[in-house]
Amino acid sequence: MHKLIVFLSTAAWIAAAHAQVAASQPDGAAPAQDEPGAVTFEIGAGLEHDSNVAVLELDASADAGDAAALLELGVAYDRPGTAKLDFGAGYNFSETAHDDFSAFDVRIHRASARMSYDFGRLDAGAMLQHAVAELDGNEFLTLTQVSPYLSRLVGKRLFLRFALADTDKDFAGNPARDASTSSLWSDAYVFLNGLRTYLVFGHRYDDENAVSPEFDYIGQRLSFQVSQRFAMRAREITLRAYLRTEGRDYRAVSPSIGALRRDHRRELEALAEIPVGRRVVARVGVKRADNESNLAAVDFAETVLSVGFNATL
C-alpha cells in the first residue's frame, strides 16, 4: 500500500509540474502536439504481476506473488490558452483487482483542483486534492492534501520547483494510524535536448505525526529520472528510467519489536511508452523494489511487471 499513498499524495502534483514544464519548454524541445481541448477524458486498462503483494501502510504482506487487472478512468478540465492565471480540476478513478489475493484489491476515487499565476519567469500556485481509497471493497483511507508551490525556469535548461504540503490521513477502522504530515518537496529538471532528453532530480522531506506515537516518523526520499524520446518508424517512443530511495526513522519504540523502527526502500523502474494510435499509448514497465526493515512484515523484495493501454479523448 506504500504505492497507494505515493500515488494519492503526488499524482496531481506531478501532472501539473509536467504540464508547466511542457508549456515553458526551451529551444530544442519536441514538436508541439495537437492542442488539447478544455475538457479531456482518459481511459486505461492493463495487467501486472507483483512477486510479493503487500499493504505496507498496514505492515502486511501476502509473502506471495499474484497477477492483477488494472483499470483507470479520468476526466479533467484545463483552462485553454496562455493566460497568466491558469486553473484546472479533475476526477480520477482507478482499480486494481487481484487474481488470488482479493484482500489486496484497491479502488481509489480522487478529485483535484489547481490554480497558478505566471509572474514572468516565476510561477506561484496551489494544489488541492481529496481522495478516498477502498481495500477489498471496504473504505480504507481518506486523504486530503493542500500544497502551495513556486516554480522557475532558469535560462533554457533548468526548471526548478518547490512545494510545501500539508496532508491529513484518516484510516477507517484503524484510528491509531490517523496522521497529519508536513512535507517539503523540491525538483530540478535539467533539459539536455528540450523535452526529448531531460533529467529530473527530486527530494522530499516528511514529518508525520500519528495518533499513536509508534507511527510517528521522519522520512527522506531521493529520486532520479532520465527521459528519452525518439522516433522509430514514424512513431515517437518515450523511454524513462527511475531510481528512488526512501528512508523512515520512527520516533517511538514499536511494541512488536521492542525497538525504534527503521525502514529503507530502494526502487529501480523502467517504462516504455509506445503510441499505437493518434490518442492511444501502450505502456510496458518493470520495477524492482527492495524493502529493508527491522519489522519483519515489511522486510522483503518485490518485482512488478506491467503492460497496459491509455487513451485520451
Cα–Cα distances in angstroms (integers) from residue 111 to residues 9, 82, 187, 220, in the given order = 12, 24, 24, 27
What does the pLDDT look like over 144-153, one tens digit per residue? 999 999 999 8
Residue 226 DSSP label: E
Residue 183: pLDDT above 50?
yes
How much of the chain exceeds pLDDT 70, in percent? 88
What does the pLDDT look like over 164-182, one tens digit per residue? 999 999 999 899 999 999 9
* pLDDT grade for 61, boundaries at 50, 70 and 90: confident
- CA dist., res. 246 & res. 239, Å (int): 23
* pLDDT grade for 25, boundaries at 50, 70 and 90: low
Q: Which pairing describes strands 179-193 and 259-275: parallel, antiparallel, or unpaired?
A: unpaired
pTM of the model: 0.89
* pLDDT grade for 12, boundaries at 50, 70 and 90: low
pLDDT at 194: 83
In the chain the beta strands, taken as DSSP E runs, fall at 39-50, 54-55, 60-61, 66-78, 85-98, 106-118, 122-135, 138-154, 158-171, 179-193, 197-210, 217-232, 235-254, 259-275, 280-293, 301-312
Cα–Cα distances in angstroms (integers) from residue 169 to residues 1, 38, 217, 270, 285, in the given order = 14, 32, 14, 30, 29
Cα–Cα distances in angstroms (integers) from residue 98 to residues 1, 68, 234, in the given order = 14, 4, 37
What does the pLDDT look like over 84-97, one tens digit per residue? 999 999 999 999 99
